[in-house]
Structure 1
């Protein structure tokens, strides 16, 4: 990455949790190390101690600082206040690039970027959906309204980034063929992450790692776990690692099914520590775009059992035996049982880490994103 023309880059997103947060942190670090000035603007009401630690780690790379204001998940009158506070802060930072992530982040970056351009300020408005609005269906009035807003916002966008081919196809099918510059740039992780993570002596058979909300399928994990015990004919063990609004409900579900002593719950933690808890990572999501957890787990030499949704088949392989039907706990339990009873199941089923590394690299991701920033600003390739 050249540093002849350093850029001022601000990432805007709502919740500092999960894949979007990881994506923004990786870009911030890579671009900062390449000589650019980077900042983050996100919600102040979500995240916990784990996210605070991640902010502490990324802070040295944020020369434009970290700005946190209240940003609600759903559309609300309070959005106008958040928009105004964001506008004042962003205007003072004078960024060259506003990169919005997810639906709310995309609105902030594109609306504020457009307001700055009205005032003759040059700024590139870049948007990555990360699933977001694309999870909605055109069959519902609400979904049609959300997707129509996405189409309208193209007029305020200089470039789109799709993090997987599934996301690109979903956009074309639900929103339309992009009328602006668009690129497919896969999520990526560091080369150092492609190393085995051995399990602890007190490891469990299965682990769920992620936000505790129905979209991610914790309830499917509990149901499938119970069915897997019946399939193999013996008690098993599992952990659910993460935080979220439905944590109490999932705990109650486990207790009601008599699984409270065999499925433990732990708060969100560093992914390396979570992977040490089990050799088998279950990703039962109902909707995804390109989840980092699958890339990270394959890199750590874990066995991954995942829903056949979003960009997951682009990581594991479209014909992978590790893929299960979405929203189907019985199919999920079938593969969970195979993973712990069939010899060498992981070695036979998982893609080679070298193959994954060749495609899902954070350095390649950051270089391609930076190139798109420059194109959106109208810079020639040698500046």
Structure 2
């Protein structure tokens, strides 16, 4: 499309959907000849994330740079911000693309500072939910949304990963001054190869961060309700890590599910998919979760909450969707185990998923806006 660009992706935590999105984007951009680098937090992530960095190291011509970044605003932000700015300045990006709340602030603030020194840097922002999850009626929410309105003045382009995310931005922050695009997360061709459940696979899988926002507690309650309603023992695997993990282990024990729920550490999604015959995504809030796309592409029947951008993945009015409520999810669990083939027929087709959520579609749309901003 044009010259090779120096692209730096800045975000805080190298875990979950944001990290997955950046990895996919960085690999696709590198394949197009662009020079790509990453700047993110060094205090989050573990061995699994370290292995993910190793897998993409060869595609990052500008390297992966990790420095401590706090999740919440505090005194340490001054030091963290200075270190991050110094790294960005050294990398001399044409494109500074921030992801999530903190990455968005850093990319727009530091991109603007570089412009003062006559560097031509395009400042782009993908919220990925981030600050949009806050309640606009709380003091914290009001402060954060006020900051977003200020930062909007220093934004060259906004990328939304779902129509839902765009609507929430407009409702809580206001119509963006900067141009914006809806660009869905994308999957690679290999991810559309079906995963076969292993021998002795559990009935249900939960995979994700162990925090209440993602609904592990709802999943456990729903499993217990399903057992009571059907009168049969149901098994589950819960894959992930997080500060709230001990509370979920205690909940499983308290509900008498200890022999039937297995906890496993973080692992590649497709490896986890083989551990169960169906997946439940019980999130209380989402933007456009990769795990839903990955599991559907792998052929898993799914129950998911109708939050964020998830309904944009399914046919309108799909019975596979529920409120983030244990009783609603339990009822769908019961229907799924009663007739798995019928539930599988409710899932989106492979062709529909590829046409809307392919990584090539995502990368081309984002690259097009990069060049448009630089040429404007």
TM bracket (short chain): over 0.9
Alignment check: 8 A CA contact 2:301 2:340 kept = no
Aligned residue for 2:105?
107
Structure 2 residue 351 is the aligned partner of structure 1 residue 354? yes
Tell me how far apart the structure 2 counterparts of residues 244 and 343 of structure 1 sit (CA, whole Å): 31
Shift of 1:348: 2.3
Match of 2:301 in 1: 303
Structure 1 residue matching 2:153: 3-state secondary structure: helix
Match of 1:144 among 142, 145, 156: 142
- Deviation sequence 1:188-219 (CA, Å, 0-9, x none): 10022111100000210000000101100011
Match of 2:194 in 1: 196
Unaligned runs of 5+ in 1: none
Q: Does structure 2 conserve the Cα–Cα contact (< 8 Å) formed by 1:18 and 1:210?
A: yes
- Measure the CA separation in 1 of the matches of 2:277 and 2:359: 24
Q: Secondary structure at the match of 2:187?
A: coil
Gaps of 5+ in 2: none
Distance 1:174 1:38 in 2: 33
Structure 1 Cα separation of the partners of residues 211 and 257 of structure 2: 19
Aligned to 2:222: 224
User: Which residue is equivalent to 2:335?
Assistant: 338
2:237 alignment partner in structure 1: 239
Deviation, structure 1 residue 353: 1.4
Q: Distance in 2 between matches of 1:73 and 1:232?
A: 43
Partner of 1:46: 44
Q: Provide the TM-score with structure 1 as the length reference.
A: 0.97
Deviations 1:301-338 (A, max 9, x none): 10111111000000022311110012x10001011111
Map 1:128-277 to 2 at 5 A: 128-277=126-275
> Which of 111, 115, 118 matches 1:117?
115
> Which residue of 2 is the match for residue 19 of structure 1?
17
Contact preservation (8 Å) 1:302, 1:346: no
Cα-Cα RMSD: 1.0
- Size of the alignment, in residue pairs? 376
CA distance, structure 1, for counterparts of residue 344 and residue 215 of structure 2: 26
Contact 2:287 2:309 in 1 (8 A): yes
Given that 1:172 and 1:178 are in contact with CA atoms closer than 8 Å, whether structure 2 keeps it comes out as yes
Aligned-pair CA distance for 1:144: 1.4
Offset at residue 226 of structure 1 (A): 0.3
